[in-house]
Amino acid sequence: MIADKMKGFVKNSSAIRAMFEEGKKMASVYGAENVYDFSLGNPNVAPPEKVKEAIEAILKEENPLEVHGYMNNSGYEGVRSQIAESLNERFGTAFGAENILMTVGAAGGLNVILKSILNPQDEVITFAPYFGEYRSYVENYDGILRSVPPHAPDFQPDLAAFEEMINGRTKAVIINTPNNPTGVIYSEETITRMADILNNKQKEFGTDIYLIADEPYRELAYDGLNVPYLTKYYDNTVVGYSYSKSLSLPGERIGYLVIPDEAADSEELRAAANVANRILGFVNAPSLFQKVVARCTSASTDIEYYDRNRKLLYSGLSEMGYECVKPEGAFYLFVKSPLEDEKAFCEAAKKYHILIVPGSSFACPGYVRIAYCVAYETIEKALPYFRKLAEEYINN
Amino acid sequence: MIADKMKGFVKNSSAIRAMFEEGKKMASVYGAENVYDFSLGNPNVAPPEKVKEAIEAILKEENPLEVHGYMNNSGYEGVRSQIAESLNERFGTAFGAENILMTVGAAGGLNVILKSILNPQDEVITFAPYFGEYRSYVENYDGILRSVPPHAPDFQPDLAAFEEMINGRTKAVIINTPNNPTGVIYSEETITRMADILNNKQKEFGTDIYLIADEPYRELAYDGLNVPYLTKYYDNTVVGYSYSKSLSLPGERIGYLVIPDEAADSEELRAAANVANRILGFVNAPSLFQKVVARCTSASTDIEYYDRNRKLLYSGLSEMGYECVKPEGAFYLFVKSPLEDEKAFCEAAKKYHILIVPGSSFACPGYVRIAYCVAYETIEKALPYFRKLAEEYINN
């Protein structure tokens, strides 16, 4: 009796989420301290103290009717102004409140923009490995997700294959840098070449192609690496942002879309996104947390924490013989599976209470994703078991 | 360049929302105290003190990683248990955590359940006048909304017309009691007759027809009136609830769905709703406010406040010659427009800075909706202007 379309979604339901549930079950059986759950991008760094202070200050200083009430479906004007100003200061952009639409996380934002632009059978291109939810989001609006094959071992985007994939039905491209699951950051040169390709293809087909930058990991860049701000390189860019990782607020569902003036049909697109936000049932981003993030534009998560984890895990696994690309950003390590069937390897890891996600969830079988947004001690304690797995499956 | 489907939505964008924006503009020009904005269901009663206390207690007592982190897409297990227990106590039901799915408000919940069940061209029936968003929600999933014509002047559901409208493609029925925009509450007798009709039609067509109860106004019933709990009358009931009105938290987007064991394919439906919540981009209901509402199951808004408004407005307008049904619940008065073209009457009201919504927004032209979730003083100050309008358009 459920919808036909949902049957497939339910059947292929997120392996990552299933793992998260399994982790909780294992924790209740073996004790949380004996389960090494690297499955979900659920930060183990508490939100900055500023978040709590902001909540308390808002409750004390502001009118509760305003704090918890309806506002424009795009969000509080003041909040949107503050976010625009913060972006302008950091990236030399020139956004105003009207370019910002507050969303229920980045997932909400991506759904809003895709509903706003996709006609049935429109194509959206992304680069494997990619966050598996992109497929669901695109199919929600009867679009077709096409993915550029993964470019192992460096996982930089294969721009030649990308160029070939673009056609007259290509409505959008989703990129995610710093990348989940590889940790790769696209360089300025890569972005410039991508923009050239898109501009040429727009001319060739007489179409507009939106570049959707999914940026929940923007602030998580290591070694002082620069993450280029996309709107400066390509006019038809829409940025989807989330505070889930940067302020460790994944459960609060707070983020925003940036729709610049330079985007094609910008005004109509912003009107459509405002309506899509409403009719998809979001109505507006949660009100208190809109005000919280506006007060926290200068706060940030403890990147050193993740960096320590990154170094420990990367050097530890590399030394054991695992092959992986050193992450430049985000908090994932994408490791070549010692077994060709990486699902079998994930199963094998479970016997040591290690939970990791098969690469096939990211359209990249043969690899596994290890989310290192965990306690340092979890990595320390798990490494001997990774060594056992290496002894069983690599050095044999 | 926006999606074709969105063009219509943008064009017919919510008149209620447009009015809300206009009200804010008028307030900035004439001063908020000189604008009588009856357009939006945005409560003017502050949330119960318990809400603030709950937020403060949670921040103090609970682990911030848990408070702001991911949980099962259906919501925190503990929160869902507490809500189930609270419902069981109040209504004699037997729900468990597994029957509750926390949602981004009732609007999020309705989208989740409609995505879960609708195939393209499936029909959903509702009763005019109805909340205009139902049409958007159904069309999001390519369903067809059919509406039973309004039954003036008492606005009780026309069950004969309803019975005739059901066919083999009818997948769901949406009802909203206490009703927006009429304030009508469906009696136990009405519910029982409706359930009989649905059961007979299910048998006749060999189908399952879900009754979706949209219940943001459940707690807003006056004169001690009983609002029957629908799951007890019809097995295939799904309840959509929101704390927007009962705790004055419309901006926070917090509510839940109830999917009882008795519903057809209940387990599959719950799995589908869990996935729909995730892939539509809600991911989960905002985490802090899940915990807040669980601590506020016994709190309620100040119904006396609305009741005072109801009495003042209803008796005031009736006395002036306006025709309206006395609301039994919610916080709306649905008034016959003195002008046949009710949009013209709404325009006329604007000259006195009165903002009210045309009935055509609820598929019921010839009427206007006055939302009385405002300050008592707003009604007091607006009544003389309603009198002027009566003199101009009724008693002339």
Contact residues on chain B for A288, CB-CB shorter than 8 A: 251-252, 288-289
- Same domain for B123 and B18: no
- Same domain for B376 and B262: no
Q: Which among B335, B324, B381 is positioned nearest to B358, based on CA atoms?
A: B335
Percent of chain A with pLDDT over 70: 99
Q: Answer yes or no: do A283 and B253 touch at CB < 8 A.
A: yes
Q: Answer yes or no: do A282 and B108 touch at CB < 8 A.
A: yes
- Strands of A357-358's sheet in order across: A332-336, A367-371, A357-358
Is residue B43 left, alpha or beta, with left meaning phi > 0 and alpha meaning psi from -120 to 50? Answer: beta
The H-assigned helical ranges of B62-187 are 64-67, 77-91, 105-117, 133-140, 159-165
Query: What's the rounded Cα separation, in Å, for the pair B136 and B144?
Result: 10
- What Rg, from alpha-carbon coordinates, does chain B have? 21
Exposed/middle/buried for residue A186 (C-beta within 10 Å: 0-12, 13-18, 19+): buried
**Residue where a domain stops, chosen among B295, B329, B353:** B295
Cα→Cα distances B279→A208, B138, B283, Å: 26, 17, 7
Q: What are phi and psi of B65, to 5 degrees?
A: -65, -35
Task: Give the residue from B135, B209, B279 with the most A CB atoms within 10 Å of its CB, the best one to mutate.
Answer: B279
In Å, how far from its chain's centre is CA A128? 14
- Same domain for B373 and B313: yes
Query: What's the rounded Cα separation, in Å, for the pair A58 and A52?
Result: 10
**Residue where a domain stops, chosen among B267, B295, B323:** B295
Cα→Cα distances A236→A165, A209, A372, Å: 18, 7, 34
Chain A interface includes B352 (CB < 8 A): no
Chain A nearest-CA residue for B2: A117
CA distance B242 to chain A (A): 12
Q: Which is higher by pLDDT, B390 or A8?
A: B390
Query: What's the rounded Cα separation, in Å, for the pair A289 and A242?
Result: 12
Query: What's the rounded Cα separation, in Å, for the pair B168 and B207?
Result: 7
Query: What's the rounded Cα separation, in Å, for the pair B343 and A367?
Result: 61
Query: What's the rounded Cα separation, in Å, for the pair B126 and B120?
Result: 18
Mean pLDDT of A307-317: 98
Q: Answer yes or no: do A68 and B111 touch at CB < 8 A.
A: no
- Same domain for A216 and A330: no
- Same domain for B81 and B107: yes
Chain B interface includes A72 (CB < 8 A): yes
Whether B292 contacts B89, CB under 8 Å: no
The answer for residues whose C-beta is within 8 angstroms of residue B16's C-beta and 6 or more apart is B39, B40, B132, B357, B361
What local confidence, expressed as pLDDT, does residue A14 receive? 66
**Residue where a domain stops, chosen among B295, B320, B346:** B295
Tell me the average pLDDT of chain A.
95
Q: Which residues of B100-134 are buried (b: 16+ CB within 10 A; e: fewer)?
A: bbbbbbbbbbbbbbbbbbbeeebbbbbbbbbbbbb
Per-residue pLDDT of chain B (396 residues; tens, 9 = 90+): 899 999 988 887 767 778 878 888 898 899 988 999 999 888 999 999 999 999 999 999 999 999 999 999 999 999 999 999 999 999 999 999 999 999 999 999 999 999 999 999 999 999 999 999 999 999 999 999 999 999 999 999 999 999 999 999 999 999 999 999 999 999 999 999 999 999 999 999 999 999 999 999 999 999 999 999 999 999 999 999 999 999 999 999 999 999 999 999 999 999 999 999 999 999 999 999 999 999 999 998 999 999 999 999 999 999 999 999 999 999 999 999 999 999 999 999 999 999 999 999 999 999 999 999 999 999 999 999 999 999 999 876
Whether B94 contacts B243, CB under 8 Å: no
Query: What's the rounded Cα separation, in Å, for the pair B363 and B128?
Result: 6
| CATH of residue B191 | 3.40.640.10
Cα→Cα distances B313→B11, B302, B308, B322, B393, Å: 33, 17, 9, 11, 18
What local confidence, expressed as pLDDT, does residue A109 receive? 98
Owning domain of residue A116: 49-295
Question: What are the pLDDT digits (tens) for A101-133?
Answer: 999 999 999 999 999 999 999 999 999 999 999
Chain B interface includes A125 (CB < 8 A): no
- Same domain for A377 and A324: yes
**Which string of DSSP letters, residue by residue, matches B294-363?**
HHTTT----HHHHHHHHHHHHHHHHHHT--BPPPSBTTEEEEE-SSSSHHHHHHHHHTTTEE-EEGGGGT
- Same domain for A281 and A193: yes
- Which residue of B108, B248, B281 is in closest CB contact with A110? B281
- Alpha carbon dihedral A104, A109, A114, A116, in 10-degree steps, equals 80
| CATH of residue A347 | 3.90.1150.10
In Å, how far from its chain's centre is CA B162? 20
- Same domain for B326 and B206: no
| Beta pairing partners, B239 | B213, B258
Q: What are phi and psi of A41, to 5 degrees?
A: -80, 55
- Same domain for B249 and B159: yes
SS3 of residue B202 by DSSP: helix
Q: Answer yes or no: do A59 and B59 touch at CB < 8 A.
A: no
Whether A331 contacts A372, CB under 8 Å: yes
Instruction: Provide the 10 A C-beta neighbour count for residue B32.
Output: 12
- Same domain for A135 and A23: no
Q: Answer yes or no: do B284 and A253 touch at CB < 8 A.
A: yes
Exposed/middle/buried for residue B309 (C-beta within 10 Å: 0-12, 13-18, 19+): buried
Domain count, chain A: 2
- Same domain for A342 and A213: no
